[in-house]
């Protein structure tokens, strides 16, 4: 039972901290019966607004070695960072691609069964299995062999993905010096 009390206390502290940075959440707290009545949706929206305004950044702890915290991290990337189509937050480099395919690779791992896997976020356009993409870092075309949606240490194979999504692809070469 004390675990539930500790969780409520820590959640209340989080709501207070975020409310100090976000007037919409602050108004909701002032109108609410208690901090406990603030919905997860309101809290997530406030954290995203605070993140996008660069007043604070969510911090998550975990270990990719034991897959502890990997899924919450991936969920947070999608939940709190701006969607590529949100106005006013698009990076100029991404904006230059317009409606064309634009991907950002942010992590590469080696899986014993699947080989080299690259985590990407799709910033524009759509990507599908078998598609050839131009790698601006390597200055050559590469083929997406397979595509997966990550769920902690499990991967579900998919055929296509569109902007805003985080996916894992195989077939890309790792940059070597």
Strand partners, 167: 120
Q: What is the pLDDT of residue 89?
A: 57
Higher pLDDT, 60 or 96: 60
Q: Report the C-alpha gap between 176 and 138 in whole angstroms.
A: 10
Q: How many domains does the chain have?
A: 2
Give the CATH number of the domain where residue 159 resides. Answer: 2.40.30.10
- 46 with 94, same domain: the answer is no
Which of 124, 137, 126 minimizes the C-alpha distance to 97?
Answer: 124
Stated pTM of the model:
0.64
Sole residue written with tokens 């356009």: 125
Residues 47 and 100 in one domain: no
Instruction: Read off φ and ψ for residue 140, nearest 5 degrees.
Output: -160, 160
CA distance 124 to 103: 7
* Residue 61 falls inside a structural domain: no
Least confident of 12-21, 51-60, 113-122, 168-177: 168-177
| pLDDT average, residue stretch 100-107 | 85
Tell me, yes or no, whether 163 and 92 share the same domain.
yes
Is a pLDDT exceeding 90 seen at residue 83?
no
Q: DSSP assignment, residue 53? A: T
CA–CA distance, 156 with 167 (Å, rounded to integer)? 10
pLDDT of residue 91: 67
Give the best-scoring range by mean pLDDT among 30-44, 56-70, 77-91: 30-44
Phi, psi of 97 (to 5 degrees): -80, -15
Q: Which domain holds residue 25?
A: 2-52
pLDDT digits (tens, 9 = 90+) for 126-137: 899 999 998 888
Which residue bears the tokens 């014993």? 112
| Residues found in the chain | 177
> Residue 137 falls within a domain, yes or no?
yes
- pLDDT tier at 87, thresholds 50, 70, 90: low
User: Mean of the pLDDT values across residues 40-47?
Assistant: 94
Contact present, 169 and 131 (Cβ < 8 Å): no
Q: Report the Cα 133 to chain-centroid distance in Å.
A: 22
């Amino acid at each position: 039972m004390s675990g539930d009390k500790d969780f409520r206390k820590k959640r209340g502290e989080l709501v207070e901290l975020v409310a100090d940075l976000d007037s919409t959440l602050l108004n909701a707290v002032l109108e609410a019966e208690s901090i406990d009545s603030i919905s997860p949706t309101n809290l997530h929206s406030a954290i995203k607004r605070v993140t996008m305004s660069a007043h604070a950044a969510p911090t998550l702890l975990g270990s990719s070695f034991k897959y502890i915290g990997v899924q919450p991290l991936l969920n947070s990337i999608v939940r709190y960072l701006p969607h590529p189509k949100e106005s006013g937050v698009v990076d100029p480099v991404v904006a230059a691609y317009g409606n064309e395919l634009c991907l950002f690779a942010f992590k590469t791992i080696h899986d014993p069964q699947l080989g080299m896997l690259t985590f990407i976020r799709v910033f524009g356009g759509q990507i599908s299995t078998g598609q050839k993409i131009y790698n601006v870092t390597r200055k050559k075309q590469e083929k997406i062999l397979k595509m997966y949606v990550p769920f902690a240490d499990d991967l579900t194979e998919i055929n296509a993905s569109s902007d805003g999504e985080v996916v894992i692809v195989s077939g890309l070469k790792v940059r070597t010096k």
